[in-house]
Amino acid sequence: MRVVSLVPSLTEAVARTVPGALAGATDWCSHPAGLDVVRVGGTKNPKTDRVLALAPDLVIANEEENRAPDVDVLRAAGVEVLVTEVRTVPQAFTELARVLTACGAPSRPRWLDEAEAAWTAPPRPERRTTAVVPIWRRPWMVLGRDTFAGDVLARLGVDHLYASHSERYPKVPVDELRAARPDLVVLPDEPYRFTADDGPEAFPGLPCALVDGRYLTWYGPSLAKAPRVLGAALRAARR
């Protein structure tokens, strides 16, 4: 089985579960560390000719991270493309199992069981809190409706204020974000790299939680630690 992954989360899952199956991955596939495979460009702009040159048996994609025209090119060339949809934590587990089976995993990996167990009773605060969750600035963009990261936060007791917005990642002026008066501002380090010096200053007087984006937005082995790591970061910001 020769697999090319266009999704960083799934790259990590496949590399850990089916060693040797991956022939290629995107430039953004940073885990596991030291992954030695052919790089095929970004998630939004993969070099489809490079993917095809690898003669994969399967390409793994995601309906949000990858563009339909690139998937169409690969399929038109006769390549099987498995496109995942992950918008909730339970859906992540279902899709991970489907991907790993398609990649030739002989059995369900232990890390997947551990991750699912970790989310059966994740740590929650004594009271639910509200938040805005910027994912970009210049322009400011936040989590909107129907997102995996939004479901992750909801399961940790954090309700983001744009969950019912008509768009999944709406552009919202920062003045409006401040005026919403959330209990908390959650600032991940991806896709935009918010840091202590780049982000919190836009929300004076509001507690800000700087979180590792891999635990907030990735669905793979990181899910096992995500409730604990994110829970700690959120609790620290609320104090």
Provide the pLDDT for residue 203.
97
pLDDT tens-digit readout, 3-52 = 999 999 999 999 999 989 999 999 999 999 999 999 999 999 999 999 99
Contact assessment for residue 48 and residue 73, using Cβ atoms and an 8 Å cutoff? yes
Provide the pLDDT for residue 238.
77
Average pLDDT over residues 183-188: 97
Average pLDDT over residues 202-206: 96
Average pLDDT over residues 223-229: 96
Tokens 């309906």 belong to which residue? 63
CA neighbor of 152 nearest in space, from 92, 111, 197: 92
Residue 146 has pLDDT above 90, yes or no: yes
- Report how far residue 59's alpha carbon sits from residue 49's, in angstroms, rounded to the nearest whole number: 13
Average pLDDT over residues 190-198: 96
Inter-helix orientation angle 8-17/110-118, to 10°: 130
239 vs 26 pLDDT, higher one: 26
Average pLDDT over residues 79-102: 97
Residue 116 has pLDDT above 80, yes or no: yes
> What is the pTM assigned to this prediction?
0.93
Provide the pLDDT for residue 136.
97
Q: What are residue 68's phi and psi, to 5 degrees?
A: -60, -40
The pLDDT-based confidence of 125 (bands split at 50, 70, 90) is confident
Average pLDDT over residues 154-169: 96
The pLDDT-based confidence of 237 (bands split at 50, 70, 90) is confident
Provide the pLDDT for residue 123.
82
Residue spans of beta strands (DSSP E) within the chain: 3-5, 22-25, 38-39, 58-62, 81-84, 129-132, 134-136, 141-142, 158-160, 184-188, 208-211
Q: Which amino acid is at 61?
A: A
> Is the sign of the CA dihedral 235, 236, 237, 239 positive or negative?
positive
Average pLDDT over residues 184-213: 96
Provide the pLDDT for residue 11.
97
